[in-house]
């Protein structure tokens, strides 16, 4: 299996309660760059 195939199956995750918006943004940018399957963050971050 090639690395790209593996990354398409990986969840990129940041669940730390102390994660900043900058860290969440960097996580999302990495997920787009490496084409991961999904991004997982704490639900509290989604409520704005």
Q: How many domains does the chain have?
A: 1
Give Cα 18 distance to the centre of its chain. Answer: 15
Q: Is 40 exposed, middle or buried (CB count within 10 Å of its CB: 0-12, 13-18, 19+)?
A: middle
Domain containing residue 39: 3-46
Q: What is the DSSP letter of 39?
A: E
Q: Please give the chain's pLDDT, 48 residues, in tens.
A: 898 888 889 999 999 999 999 999 999 999 999 999 999 998 876 765
Task: Say how many C-beta atoms besides its own lie within 10 A of residue 10's C-beta.
Answer: 13
- Identify the CA nearest to 44 among candidates 18, 25, 12: 18
For residue 47, the model assigns a pLDDT of: 66
State the pLDDT at residue 20: 92
Residue 40: per-residue pLDDT: 94
> pTM value?
0.79
């Amino acid at each position: 299996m090639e690395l790209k195939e593996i990354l398409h199956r990986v969840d990129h995750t940041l669940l730390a309660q102390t994660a900043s918006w900058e860290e969440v943004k960097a996580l999302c940018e990495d997920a787009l760059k490496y084409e991961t399957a999904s991004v997982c963050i704490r639900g509290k971050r989604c409520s704005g």
